[in-house]
Amino acid sequence: MTTSAPDIEEAGAVLAAESARFASFGWMRGTSGNLSVVVSRDPLRLAVTASGHDKGELTPSDVVLVDAEGAAVAGGRPSAEAALHARVAALTGAGAVVHVHTVASVAMGRRSPGGIVLRDLEMLKGVGQPAHDVEVTLPVIVNSQDMGVLGDRLEAARDPRMPAVVVAGHGLYVWGDTPRQARHHTEVVEWLLELELTER
Amino acid sequence: MTTSAPDIEEAGAVLAAESARFASFGWMRGTSGNLSVVVSRDPLRLAVTASGHDKGELTPSDVVLVDAEGAAVAGGRPSAEAALHARVAALTGAGAVVHVHTVASVAMGRRSPGGIVLRDLEMLKGVGQPAHDVEVTLPVIVNSQDMGVLGDRLEAARDPRMPAVVVAGHGLYVWGDTPRQARHHTEVVEWLLELELTER
Amino acid sequence: MTTSAPDIEEAGAVLAAESARFASFGWMRGTSGNLSVVVSRDPLRLAVTASGHDKGELTPSDVVLVDAEGAAVAGGRPSAEAALHARVAALTGAGAVVHVHTVASVAMGRRSPGGIVLRDLEMLKGVGQPAHDVEVTLPVIVNSQDMGVLGDRLEAARDPRMPAVVVAGHGLYVWGDTPRQARHHTEVVEWLLELELTER
Amino acid sequence: MTTSAPDIEEAGAVLAAESARFASFGWMRGTSGNLSVVVSRDPLRLAVTASGHDKGELTPSDVVLVDAEGAAVAGGRPSAEAALHARVAALTGAGAVVHVHTVASVAMGRRSPGGIVLRDLEMLKGVGQPAHDVEVTLPVIVNSQDMGVLGDRLEAARDPRMPAVVVAGHGLYVWGDTPRQARHHTEVVEWLLELELTER
């Protein structure tokens, strides 16, 4: 285990910048949502944004180092959701996880509780899917306060082709290789949800 | 009573920054809305944003010190609504009160004049409510220009579990322990209203 | 007639700042809209934003001095609409006129071509109207490229209680004593239109 | 052929600034969309934004020089869509082409797959059309990954009076004499689409 304090501060600076961006879009209202980046794979360690702060005002030190169970290794108090970030990273091999609360994701989760079917959209290429002829479903899972239960649901429901899951009544989990790719996947998924929400 | 001029300026600086934030969201169009922070509890004194100014352009001195009846103790002319701020602070123990005019709050007040029922939403945790199984009602009260009448309605209608009330045809009152917590409660309540507004 | 070049530059600086603000809201897309301020009343002279420029990129010199007919007295080419600005200033005594193209104004003009009826809204106080019990109509007039015709329609339709008119298929004209008051009236009228647009 | 490296950097700086503007509107989510400017007409050479980057974070060197077939002459990897930019420039004589992914364009393409009929809107003047009595159709073409096919569809469908085409399930192509005019055309077309989207 070689993760040093400077590594964590550096990760914290990246997460603070990404958080401020998402907050400016209105996707992290209140103190909602959290972001993470994998800083070591074996053993699994993630830097996760600290809980309870305004996500537009994070500093590089507002970060917690957690293990594969989401327990704090260094830094302050992680959100309970850190455990789900760690599970997503372990399950998918993602290097970064974004969890945001967008109105469109919760609204579409209500309209399509069985999953949001997407097809024939160029924007699907932004999450690695074909733009034509292939139906892709963005899974919607039932919310839980138990991260084990929520993780089981995510694992059971996720489509390996789609780096995102909607949690009903809650928001979005999205992942990517890097914080920047996770950002782009998040923007693409949210765009798709905003599009579907325009359907009458 | 030990509230000094520097205290008030400091409070004014905080309120100016919070106002500029809300104005940037379009929640304080024209010169609408006002914010306050409790600067002394006994006797009750609040710093309230001065009336008639653009809420995106306040300076630290655009603030009025008012008493429990909303009457000016120092500074310029308070809004008549200062009396309601003071009453909310007295009634709820809040340290800060936000009053904004959002389109979503007035639109939802029209659709649900008897109160806006919320349930099974993670975002409810942002106002201290359970995310599952429990129905919480955001009260809607009838508007009045008489702050005594409006305060009576707020007192009668408010749900102690919910730090906010919608005033029909008018906007939102939201409160919290501090200006930052009141901001977060406001963002959460507005998010919930924007979500409900997507219902067809 | 004492309007000097410095006066016009000063007026141009104010108009540039106001334009940049409205442009940031998306209300002056393309090069649409124009703003004016009265710089002398007798004879009537208005500084009007120059035509054809991006309204988010105006400089203090992107301004034209026009007379009561909207003809250039100094500076570059005024928009044909300068004549309507001058007529509004003469007709209403306003010191500043705002003309913006907002989606909500054109959408509501389509839904309510006979005028947009407003009632029981606190926000009406922001345009000097009572918040209760009194119905106020925001007039909608038919568009024309002939500023004389359009001015006649505005004069015939306007409600002296309401400092604004919707031009169908076109946008908003709003006025006030000063550029800041005209801004606030514009924000209030647009807020009211956005609210009405949420009606299903 | 006299296009020099400084020319390309200069074009890259313009494209980076225009991209950042469009990205701030949410019209280039993920890494979507691309912009181009003609740097030489004979032979046809365009500077096109480099593929795969965040469109809000481009630098002046994130640009590729391409020929009439969209093949790279200098710089990195162009998007496949560079070929369509070149074809639009050749076909229309445009000096700049904007391709953005807006929610409104895809939503309206779904509602009106045969073309979006516009009429009696002042904003049409922003794309050189009459504001009264004349019906103009914004063409909608079927999407393809084959730029030859997509270009044939654009050529067959385009209305010479309208500097824009909607690609169904994809986004907008818009053009103008200069990057600034292409920007203004894009803003105008998007405004028109957002207006039509408010129809119930």
Q: pTM score > 0.80 for this model?
A: yes
Is the pLDDT at B3 greater than 70? The verdict is no
Can you tell me the mean pLDDT for C157-185? 97
> A35 forms bridges with which residues in the sheet?
A98
Regarding chains D and B, contact by 3 or more CB pairs under 8 A is answered as: no
Of C5 and D81, the structure prediction assigns the larger pLDDT to D81
Q: Residue D6's pLDDT is what?
A: 66
Is the pLDDT at A6 greater than 80? The verdict is no
For residue range C71-129, list pLDDT tens digits in order: 999 888 889 999 999 999 999 999 999 999 999 999 999 999 999 999 999 999 999 99
Yes or no, beta carbons of C30 and D126 under 8 Å apart? yes
Please list every residue in chain A whose beta carbon sits closer than 8 Å to the beta carbon of residue D54: 180, 183-184
Q: Output phi, psi for B100, to 5 deg.
A: -130, 160
Yes or no, beta carbons of C30 and D132 under 8 Å apart? no
Max CA distance (Å), chain D:
53
Residues of C within an 8 Å Cβ radius of B: 25, 120-123, 126, 131-132, 180, 183-185, 187-188, 190-191, 194-195, 198-200
Determine what percent of chain D is predicted with pLDDT higher than 90: 93
With H, G, I as helix, E, B as strand and everything else as coil, classify residue B181: helix
Yes or no, beta carbons of A123 and D103 under 8 Å apart? no
**How many residue pairs bridge chain C and chain D with CB atoms within 8 Å of each other?**
58
pLDDT band of residue B158 (cuts 50, 70, 90) is very high
With H, G, I as helix, E, B as strand and everything else as coil, classify residue B149: helix
- The domains of chain B are located at 5-199
Please list every residue in chain C whose beta carbon sits closer than 8 Å to the beta carbon of residue B167: 122
Is the pLDDT at A91 greater than 90? The verdict is yes
Contact between B126 and B185 (Cβ < 8 Å): yes
For residue range D54-106, list pLDDT tens digits in order: 999 999 999 999 999 999 998 888 899 999 999 999 999 999 999 999 999 99
Q: Which residues contact B78 (CB under 8 A, 6 or more apart)?
A: B48, B50, B51, B64, B66, B70, B71, B72
Q: Which of D54, D106, D197 to mutate to test the interface with A (most CBs of A within 10 A)?
A: D106
Of A77 and C148, the structure prediction assigns the larger pLDDT to C148
pLDDT band of residue A2 (cuts 50, 70, 90) is low
Q: Which residue of D has its CA nearest to C110?
A: D199
Q: Which residue of D has its CA nearest to C145?
A: D131
For residue range C30-65, list pLDDT tens digits in order: 999 999 999 999 999 999 999 999 999 999 999 999
Yes or no, beta carbons of D143 and A132 under 8 Å apart? yes
Q: What is the mean pLDDT of chain D?
A: 96
Q: Which residue of B has its CA nearest to C192?
A: B103
Q: From the centroid of its chain, how far is CA B176?
A: 9
Regarding chains A and C, contact by 3 or more CB pairs under 8 A is answered as: no
Amino acid at C14: V
Residue of C25, C120, C198 with shortest CB distance to B197: C198
Q: Is the peptide bond before A43 cis (omega within 30 degrees of 0)?
A: yes
Structure tokens at C81: 């609409």
Q: Residue A7's pLDDT is what?
A: 86
pLDDT band of residue D15 (cuts 50, 70, 90) is very high
Q: Residue D75's pLDDT is what?
A: 80
Q: Residue B170's pLDDT is what?
A: 98
Q: Residue A200's pLDDT is what?
A: 83
Please list every residue in chain C whose beta carbon sits closer than 8 Å to the beta carbon of residue B101: 122-123, 191
Is the pLDDT at D131 greater than 70? The verdict is yes
Please list every residue in chain B whose beta carbon sits closer than 8 Å to the beta carbon of residue C184: 29-31, 54
Give the span between the Cα atoms of B48 and B83, in whole angstroms: 10
With H, G, I as helix, E, B as strand and everything else as coil, classify residue D121: coil
Is the pLDDT at A168 greater than 60? The verdict is yes
For residue range C129-167, list pLDDT tens digits in order: 999 999 999 999 999 999 999 999 999 999 999 999 999
Is the pLDDT at D1 greater than 80? The verdict is no
Q: What is the mean pLDDT of chain C?
A: 95
Yes or no, beta carbons of B184 and A30 under 8 Å apart? yes
Of B5 and D100, the structure prediction assigns the larger pLDDT to D100
Contact between C175 and C182 (Cβ < 8 Å): yes
Regarding chains B and C, contact by 3 or more CB pairs under 8 A is answered as: yes
Yes or no, beta carbons of B122 and A54 under 8 Å apart? no
Determine what percent of chain B is predicted with pLDDT higher than 90: 94
Distance, in angstroms, between B16 CA and closest chain A CA? 17
Structure tokens at C176: 């006030």
Residue of B31, B170, B200 with shortest CB distance to C122: B170
Q: Which residues contact C152 (CB under 8 A, 6 or more apart)?
A: none
Q: Which residues of C149-158 are buried (b: 16+ CB within 10 A; e: fewer)?
A: ebbebbeeeb
For residue range D150-182, list pLDDT tens digits in order: 999 999 999 999 999 999 999 999 999 999 999
Is the pLDDT at C4 greater than 90? The verdict is no
Give the span between the Cα atoms of B95 and B91, in whole angstroms: 11
With H, G, I as helix, E, B as strand and everything else as coil, classify residue C126: helix
Give the span between the Cα atoms of D142 and A178, in whole angstroms: 34
Yes or no, beta carbons of A126 and D171 under 8 Å apart? no
Residues of C within an 8 Å Cβ radius of D: 26, 29-32, 54, 101, 103-104, 106-107, 110, 143, 145, 167, 169-171, 197, 200
What are the strands of the beta sheet with A44-49, ordered from one edge?
A72-75, A63-66, A44-49, A34-41, A96-100, A171-176, A164-167, A140-141
Distance, in angstroms, between D103 CA and closest chain A CA? 5
SS (H, E, C) chain A: CCCCHHHHHHHHHHHHHHHHHHHHCCCCCCCCCEEEEEEEECCEEEEEEECCCCCCCCCCCCEEEECCCCCEEEECCECCCHHHHHHHHHHHCCCEEEEECCHHHHHHHHHCCCCEEECCCHHHHHHCCCCCCCCEEECEECCCCCHHHHHHHHHHHCCCCCCEEEECCCEEEEEECCHHHHHHHHHHHHHHHHHHHCCC
For residue range D19-46, list pLDDT tens digits in order: 999 999 999 999 999 999 999 999 999 9
Q: Residue A191's pLDDT is what?
A: 98
- Please indicate if the annotation marks C101 as binding a ligand: yes
Q: What is the mean pLDDT of chain B?
A: 96
Can you tell me the mean pLDDT for A40-44? 96
Can you tell me the mean pLDDT for B29-35? 97
Distance, in angstroms, between A40 CA and closest chain B CA? 30
Q: Residue D77's pLDDT is what?
A: 84
Max CA distance (Å), chain B:
53
Q: Which residue of A has its CA nearest to B194?
A: A103
Q: Residue B200's pLDDT is what?
A: 83
Q: Residue B2's pLDDT is what?
A: 55
Distance, in angstroms, between A169 CA and closest chain B CA? 5
Residue of C29, C167, C197 with shortest CB distance to D188: C29
Yes or no, beta carbons of B170 and C121 under 8 Å apart? yes
Q: Which of D32, D147, D195, D196 to mutate to test the interface with A (most CBs of A within 10 A)?
A: D32
With H, G, I as helix, E, B as strand and everything else as coil, classify residue C154: helix
Contact between B133 and B120 (Cβ < 8 Å): yes
State the fold for domain C5-199. Answer: L-fuculose-1-phosphate Aldolase (3.40.225)
Contact between D164 and D172 (Cβ < 8 Å): yes
Please list every residue in chain D whose beta carbon sits closer than 8 Å to the beta carbon of residue A123: 29-30, 32, 101, 106, 170
Nearest Cα neighbor of D143 from D180, D103, D106, D88 is D106
The set of chains that have 3 or more CB pairs under 8 A with C is B, D
Q: Which of D123, D133, D200 to mutate to test the interface with C (most CBs of C within 10 A)?
A: D123
Please list every residue in chain D whose beta carbon sits closer than 8 Å to the beta carbon of residue A120: 143, 169
What is this model's ipTM?
A: 0.96
pLDDT band of residue B77 (cuts 50, 70, 90) is confident
Residue of A31, A54, A103 with shortest CB distance to B194: A103
